[in-house]
Amino acid sequence: MNVAENSPEVRLAATRALCNALEFAQTNFKNEMERNYIMKMVCETALSKEVDIRQAAFECLASIASRYYVVLEPYMQALFELTSNAVKGDEEAVALQAIAFWSSICDEEIELQEFGSGESGDSVPHSRFIEKALTSLVPMLLETLLKQEENLDQNHNIWNIAMAGRTCLKLVARTVGDAILPLVMPFVEANIAKPDWHCREAAAFAFGSIIEGPTTEQLSGLVHAGLDFLLTLMKDENNHVKDTTAWTLSCIFELLHHPARGFSVISADNLPGVVRVLLEGTTDAPNVAEKVCCAISHLCQGYEEAGTSSSLFTPYVPAIIECLLSTASRPDGNDSRLRSIACKSVNAVVRYSNIVETSQIIVQLLPVIMNKCSDHGRCFPQG
C-alpha cells in the first residue's frame, strides 16, 4: 500500500487483500501500535491519485467501522474529514463507500441501542459517534439527495449517491430519533416548492427517509401539516417527484396510520382526498403506480385492527378494488412489476377490510377477479 515503493496495481491488490483479511485482524486491532499503523496506511491510501485504490480504501474503512467500532474514537475526526471530502467532491464510486462508512456506524449504534451489546454478546461502549457528528453529517447527506440522475429510469433499487444518502439518512434517523428533525425539516420546507424538480424530489426524499426514527408525538404534527403538500406533489409535472412522493406517502401510511392504537395521520376529513389522489395515481406511469399501490396496501392495513367495528375505509373498498384490477390489466403492466404489485394490493384490501361490511362487495367482484386472472394468467400470489 506504500506509494513510494509499489506500483498502483500492487497497492490496489494490497488494499483489497487487507479488506478481505479484516475479519481475522482482531489481535492487530487490540494492539494500539499495530492498529495505529493500519489506520494510518488506510487513511493515506484513501487519498491516492487512483480512483479504484481510493474506493478500495474506503471499503476498508466501512468494514473497519462494522468490525472494530469500539476502537474508533481516536480516529473519528480524521475519518469524518476524509469521508466528508469524498462525499462532497470525489468520484461516485468513492463517495458511495464513504457514505457506507457512516451507514456502518449507524448499524453498530442501532444494535447497541436495541440490544446493548455487539454481535458477540459482549458489552460494548456506546461512543455516540452519530450524535456527535450530527450537525455536520446530516447536511452532508441532505446534499446527496440533490444529486439525482436525470435520465435514469426511476428505480429505487438502482444504487447511486442519492440512494446511498437516503439510506444513510434513514439509519441516522433511527439512531438519533427526534434530534434529526430540526436538521431535516428546514431542508424540506426550503425545497419542497422550488421550481427545480431536483429540489422538490429531494425534499420528499428527505421527509420519507426520517419517518422511521423520531417519536410519533414529534412526527404527527409535522406530517399532518405536510400531508396536503405531499398530495399536491402527486400531481407534479415531473415523474421523479411523483415517484418519490408516492414512496413517501407509503412510508407515512405504514408507520403513522394505526387508528386502533390511538394515532393516525388519516382522519375522516382528509381520507376522501387521500383516496382520490391515490386512485388517480394508479393511472400514472408504471413506476409511480407501483408506489401508489403499495401506499394503498399500507393505508388499508391500518384499518385491520378495527376488527368487527365499522371502518372509515369501508365505503371506498369497491372503488379501490375496481381501480386496482384495472391497474393490473394495464397493457404496460408487463413492462414493470406493476401487475404483480397491483394484484398484491387487491389481496391486501380484501384481507384487511371489514369482512362483515364488505363481503357482499367481494362476492360481486369475484367474477371480475376470476376473469382478470384467466386473461392474464395467475395474477394473485399464493400464501
What's the CATH code of the domain at 281? 1.25.10.10
Final residue before a domain boundary, out of 111, 127, 143: 127
276 in a structural domain: yes
183 in a structural domain: no
Question: What sign for the dihedral angle of Cα 51, 55, 61, 65?
Answer: positive
The pLDDT tens digits of the residues spanning 104-126 come to 999 999 999 988 755 555 667 88
Residue 220 and residue 120 share a domain: no
224 in a structural domain: yes
142 in a structural domain: no
The pLDDT tens digits of the residues spanning 182-222 come to 999 999 999 999 999 999 999 999 999 999 999 999 998 89
Query: CA angle, corner 318, sides to 315 and 322, nearest 5?
Result: 150
168 in a structural domain: no
Instruction: Please choose, from the candidates 61, 40, 56, the residue with its C-alpha nearest in 3D space to the C-alpha of residue 103.
Output: 61
Final residue before a domain boundary, out of 58, 92, 127: 127
Residue 230 and residue 118 share a domain: no
242 in a structural domain: yes
> Rounded to whole angstroms, how far apart are CA atoms 327 and 112?
44
Query: How many CB atoms are located within 10 Å of the residue 40 CB?
Result: 12
160 in a structural domain: no
| Helix or strand run (H / E) with residue 264 | strand 263-264
Domains of the chain: total: 2
> Rounded to whole angstroms, how far apart are CA atoms 272 and 266?
10
Final residue before a domain boundary, out of 127, 153, 178: 127
Question: Residue 345 in contact with residue 296, Cβ under 8 Å?
Answer: yes
132 in a structural domain: no
Q: What mean pLDDT comes out for the span 20-24?
A: 95
**Between 129-144 and 92-115, two packed helices, what is the crossing angle to 10 degrees?**
140
What local confidence, expressed as pLDDT, does residue 152 receive?
57
- Give the global pTM: 0.89
Question: Residue 327 in contact with residue 342, Cβ under 8 Å?
Answer: yes
User: By percentage, how much of the chain surpasses pLDDT 90?
Assistant: 70
Q: What mean pLDDT comes out for the span 52-81?
A: 97
Q: Which domain holds residue 336?
A: 215-383
